[in-house]
Structure 1
Amino acid sequence: MTDEKRLPDPFPALSRLGPEDAVILRHYLSPERQELARDLLSDCRQRGLRLLIGADARLARQIGADGLHLPESMLRSKRATWRLWQRPGWLLTAAAHSPAALARAARSGVDAALLSPVFATASHTNAKPIGVTRFAIWTRAAGVPVYALGGITKDSFPRLIQAGAVGRAGISGLIT
């Protein structure tokens, strides 16, 4: 996942990703977001990576991105306008921070949810970590594949796979 503050230039981080990985462009407030999205898509294509655009189905469709990532607030909205812009073959993911959000994600038909924060994280210092036990309980009841996000390390990741995660997402792993 890109981050305007912690990873303002996401391009060097792409070399750390493999062909099974995807990039989620956040940079929500960037005035150069459209240009960044186009350039990132070009680099992702060269590397065999998929690019999802956060919260902007119109931009995702305009540039031919591989999908869309929905912030949790978009799942709560009664006006699911992103559905109007969806295209066949898109990978659709959603952020979730609670069992209720996971249920909304499953009902909305997303391909996967990113559940966070599993552990303490520099991105959301005030958020209460879910922990492995609650992650396992919530994931098993989710009704949608769940990626772990937030404070995950190479040492903690195997426990999350055992707890039901289908993979991990992050920012810090791309920075260090």
Structure 2
Amino acid sequence: MTQDQSSPEQVLPKLWLLSDARNDNALESALANLPRGSGFIYRHYHLGPDERRARFAALQEIARKQGHLTVLSDTPVKAKQWKADGIYGAAGRMPKGNDLLKLVTAHDWKEIVAADRAGADGILLSPIFATRSHPGTKPLGPLRFRMLARKAKAPIIALGGMNAERARRLDWPRWAAIDGLS
């Protein structure tokens, strides 16, 4: 992010929708129904390059009309070419000294440290609860999630089995979902 912008804590949306092959048919309505100023992380790894680009453009138009930030899971170069607001991925993929919003994935303490070192503007910590995205993976659970989240320098976004009811129970200010929002 550029120096003249507000701090990440101030501009980082509280609610994030992630795209996936399984929620593709519901994305238009999900984006329209998110609270104004939410965030959208576009992944869609299942599509070929041209189809992926066209789908992003269509969804980005809907997101922009709703005042949502759009973040691309890809390279920094492609994120800039596609006019995304940010980039999403592992700490090792994050650009240095770039004005893109950087959302970094983490699943444990080591990855949180790497995310902070990479200059993350937000860290998606997962999985909090059991999820179809990580079948068979032991979820962090609320207690371990809070323990890890307290140690991070960047704001934490709860991910993994999240929906509105679980977000209320977790009582965490920022959360994201695939199925739970679409």
- TM-score band w.r.t. shorter chain: 0.7 to 0.9
Change (3 A) 1:40 1:56: farther
**Residue in 1 aligned with 2:15?**
none
**Residue in 1 aligned with 2:61?**
42
Measure how far apart 1:15 and its partner are: 1.7
Q: Which runs of 5+ in 1 are unaligned?
A: none
1:39-80 per-residue CA deviation (whole Å, 9 max, x = no partner) reads: 22211111111100013322211121111111x3xx2x4xx5
Give the residue type in structure 1 aligned to 2:80. R
**Residue in 2 aligned with 1:29?**
46
Number of residue pairs the alignment of both structures matches: 162
Considering Cα pairs closer than 8 Å and 6+ residues apart, tell me whether 1 or 2 has the greater RCO. 2
**Residue in 2 aligned with 1:62?**
81
SS at match of 2:130: coil
- Higher mean C-alpha deviation, range 104-113 or range 8-17: 8-17
- Higher mean C-alpha deviation, range 11-20 or range 114-123: 11-20
The alignment's TM-score, normalised by the length of structure 1, stands at 0.84
Please give the alpha-carbon distance, in whole angstroms, between the structure 2 residues aligned to 1:124 and 1:40.
25
Identical counterparts, % of pairs: 33
Please give the alpha-carbon distance, in whole angstroms, between the structure 2 residues aligned to 1:59 and 1:111.
19
Please give the alpha-carbon distance, in whole angstroms, between the structure 1 residues aligned to 2:169 and 2:113.
23
- Higher mean C-alpha deviation, range 102-111 or range 148-157: 148-157
Please give the alpha-carbon distance, in whole angstroms, between the structure 2 residues aligned to 1:57 and 1:114.
18
Whether 2:169 is the aligned partner of 1:155: answer no
SS at match of 2:23: coil
**Residue in 1 aligned with 2:24?**
8
Whether 2:118 is the aligned partner of 1:113: answer no
**Residue in 2 aligned with 1:135?**
145
Measure how far apart 1:36 and its partner are: 1.2
**Residue in 2 aligned with 1:168?**
175
Give runs of ≥4 in structure 1 deviating > 6 Å. none
Please give the alpha-carbon distance, in whole angstroms, between the structure 1 residues aligned to 2:149 and 2:68.
26
**Residue in 2 aligned with 1:19?**
36
Q: CA RMSD in A?
A: 1.7
SS at match of 2:165: coil
1:117-146 per-residue CA deviation (whole Å, 9 max, x = no partner) reads: 000012211211000110010000112110
**Residue in 2 aligned with 1:83?**
95
CA contact (8 A) 1:112 1:144 kept: yes
Please give the alpha-carbon distance, in whole angstroms, between the structure 1 residues aligned to 2:64 and 2:110.
35
Please give the alpha-carbon distance, in whole angstroms, between the structure 2 residues aligned to 1:68 and 1:93.
6
CA contact (8 A) 2:32 2:62 kept: no
Change (3 A) 1:153 1:34: closer
